[in-house]
Amino acid sequence: MAEKSPQGPRERYRAQVRAEIKEHAREQIATAGASALSLNAIAKQMGMSGPALYRYFAGRDELITELVRDAYRSLADAFRAAAAPGADAAGLAHALRDWALADPQRYFLVYGTPVPGYHAPDDITRIAAEIMTTLLDAFTPPPPGDSGGPLQEHLAGHRDWAGDHPAPPAALRRALAFWTRLHGALSLELAGHFSGMGFDPAVLFAAELDSVLER
Amino acid sequence: MAEKSPQGPRERYRAQVRAEIKEHAREQIATAGASALSLNAIAKQMGMSGPALYRYFAGRDELITELVRDAYRSLADAFRAAAAPGADAAGLAHALRDWALADPQRYFLVYGTPVPGYHAPDDITRIAAEIMTTLLDAFTPPPPGDSGGPLQEHLAGHRDWAGDHPAPPAALRRALAFWTRLHGALSLELAGHFSGMGFDPAVLFAAELDSVLER
DNA sequence: CAGATTTCGTTAGAGGTTATCAGGGAGCGT
DNA sequence: ACGCTCCCTGATAACCTCTAACGAAATCTG
């Protein structure tokens, strides 16, 4: 709450350069993956020489972390926008797929291969929790006639991740299934594992969504 | 079939050094991820200096490709071994989870974030097809009383990926669900997205497996 | 308005990486 | 035992991240 919109022209310029750096970084990641991101190449594209970027980011890791943060926030925004009217889970699902297809590497920035040592900063974890809250909202209250099952019983006793959300166990189970099943179909599609297989990934995605909604 | 066991001591030595290089590479990847794999570091560990490794691998990419190939073959072997007795899908699922938990980074070598430009060699694609065949075997014939659904109808007309396998559409649908749902639960678990959430990933995995088997 | 101070971007350089190349030495096969 | 092939080393080039020191420009302050 301390620094909102930049007051001085100095911070204004600074913010703009930071944004431009991230722009180039996003482009690089989209075309060659996050591991190919080069600060030097970005500097060259911007007409300045190497170390100048260290005025704006402490290093490569911080830049990537910032992009991961942006990706999380972007997903959270897309989710909230899709949930705005009446908390329809199908709408959330399509928002998720659209968001993922718009920039696959951004999806992998969030859900891709983790670096063994890396631990996300607290604020990113908080955005992830916000996404989860939106998801829980969409499944609360759950439709009647729910089967239950061992997982639902287990979740009834292990609901730390729901925080103080009033979602009943059935909603927890559905939200979890929504997350894992759609991620399963989506990540394999984005990674190209369906490419030579001949079927339409959208049909699979729709079927997985139905499996979450109808049962 | 041409070159089985090395005949000369020359090729024998060569194969052993290649294996040792891969051993160190695997270790590095397991502890720091594939992006942190350094040929130089491997050479240093083996007591030789840098460029010597280029006698055994054309470069970093070929080494990684080889490790990906090994990972695929390892998964295919684990799958076939689990399917040997009576083609039980639950056995396959547990074999998959055990295989993944034994070395998460190896799992991500197969199912992790793809490099945009990269295209897997044909022999790797063939191993992937072999895995799929094992999976289709396990679901053929499918249990009776199957619901069908839009996905199953779609797959009935788009079964290129099944090759000449006699699996009926219901088996295709189940095999696909097995793959995507278990991958969804497993990859999120391995990536640590469930870490602070308080529930047991094994219970989720079992529930997802049930969802594939029972419906 | 003028001086002090902060900030920016540069060059230089250390230390890391992949990868190529030329040459010496060791082991293998005949 | 000789010749040949293959292995390994050191040098080198071209990248990379990141630090340090310096000059220049813009901002803030008296």
Mean pLDDT across A70-79: 98
The packing angle between helices B201-214 and B89-102, to 10°, is: 150
Closest partner residue to A116 among B32, B193, B215, by Cβ?
Answer: B32
In chain B, which residues have their Cβ closer than 8 Å to the Cβ of A158? 198-200
Residue A1 has pLDDT above 60, yes or no: no
Q: Measuring from the CA of residue B53 to each C1' atom, give the nucleotide at the shortest distance.
A: D8
Sequence ranges of the domains in chain B: 1-57, 67-214
HEC letters along chain B: CCCCCCCCHHHHHHHHHHHHHHHHHHHHHHHHCHHHCCHHHHHHHCCCCHHHHHHCCCCHHHHHHHHHHHHHHHHHHHHHHHHCCCCCHHHHHHHHHHHHHHCHHHHHHHHCCCCCCCCCCHHHHHHHHHHHHHHHHHCCCCCCCCCCCHHHHHHHHCCHHHCCCCCCHHHHHHHHHHHHHHHHHHHHHHCCCCHHHCCCHHHHHHHHHHHHHHC
Interchain contact, B185 vs A185, CB within 8 Å? no
In chain B, which residues have their Cβ closer than 8 Å to the Cβ of A154? 199-200, 203
Fold type of domain B67-214: Tetracycline Repressor; domain 2 (1.10.357)
Q: Do domains B1-57 and B67-214 have the same CATH topology?
A: no
> Which of A47, A49, A45, A51 has its CA nearest to residue A23?
A45
Measure the CA–CA gap between A12 and A14, rounded to whole angstroms. Answer: 5
List chain B residues with pLDDT less than 50: 1-3
In chain B, which residues have their Cβ closer than 8 Å to the Cβ of A182? 184
Q: What is the pLDDT of residues A171-205, one digit of tens each?
A: 999 999 999 999 999 999 999 999 999 999 999 99
Measure the CA–CA gap between B53 and B16, rounded to whole angstroms. Answer: 13
Q: Measuring from the CA of residue B9 to each C1' atom, give the nucleotide at the shortest distance.
A: C28
Closest partner residue to A149 among B111, B154, B207, by Cβ?
Answer: B207
pLDDT at B2: 42
In chain A, which residues have their Cβ closer than 8 Å to the Cβ of B37? none
- The answer to whether A146 touches B174, Cβ cutoff 8 Å, is no
Predicted confidence band at A87 (pLDDT cuts at 50, 70, 90)? low
Residue A4 has pLDDT above 80, yes or no: no
Q: Measuring from the CA of residue A53 to each C1' atom, give the nucleotide at the shortest distance.
A: C9
B119 touches strand D (CB under 7 A): no
pLDDT at B188: 99
Closest partner residue to A203 among B150, B193, B198, by Cβ?
Answer: B150
DSSP for chain A, please give it. --S-S--SHHHHHHHHHHHHHHHHHHHHHHHH-GGG--HHHHHHHTTS-GGGGGGT-SSHHHHHHHHHHHHHHHHHHHHHHHHTTT--HHHHHHHHHHHHHH-HHHHHHHHSPPPTT----HHHHHHHHHHHHHHHHHTSSPPSS----HHHHHHHH--GGGTT----HHHHHHHHHHHHHHHHHHHHHHTTTTGGG-S-HHHHHHHHHHHHH--
In chain B, which residues have their Cβ closer than 8 Å to the Cβ of A210? 149
Q: What is the CATH number of domain A65-213?
A: 1.10.357.10
Q: Which residue of B199, B210, B212 is the best one to mutate when testing the A interface, meaning the one whose CB has the most A CBs within 10 A?
A: B199
For D20, nearest residue by CA–C1' is A51
Q: Which residue of A37, A180, A194, A214 is the best one to mutate when testing the B interface, meaning the one whose CB has the most B CBs within 10 A?
A: A180
Interchain contact, A188 vs B180, CB within 8 Å? yes
Give the gap in angstroms from C-alpha B8 to the nearest C-alpha of chain A: 40
B184 touches strand D (CB under 7 A): no
Q: Measuring from the CA of residue B47 to each C1' atom, give the nucleotide at the shortest distance.
A: D8
Q: What is the pLDDT of residues A107-142, one digit of tens each?
A: 999 999 999 999 999 999 999 999 999 999 999 998
Q: A1-57 architecture in CATH?
A: Orthogonal Bundle (1.10)
Closest partner residue to A207 among B149, B200, B207, by Cβ?
Answer: B149
For D15, nearest residue by CA–C1' is A40
Distance B50 CA to D8 C1' (A): 10
Measure the CA–CA gap between B79 and B93, rounded to whole angstroms. Answer: 9
Residue A77 has pLDDT above 70, yes or no: yes
Distance A55 CA to C13 C1' (A): 19
pLDDT at A2: 38
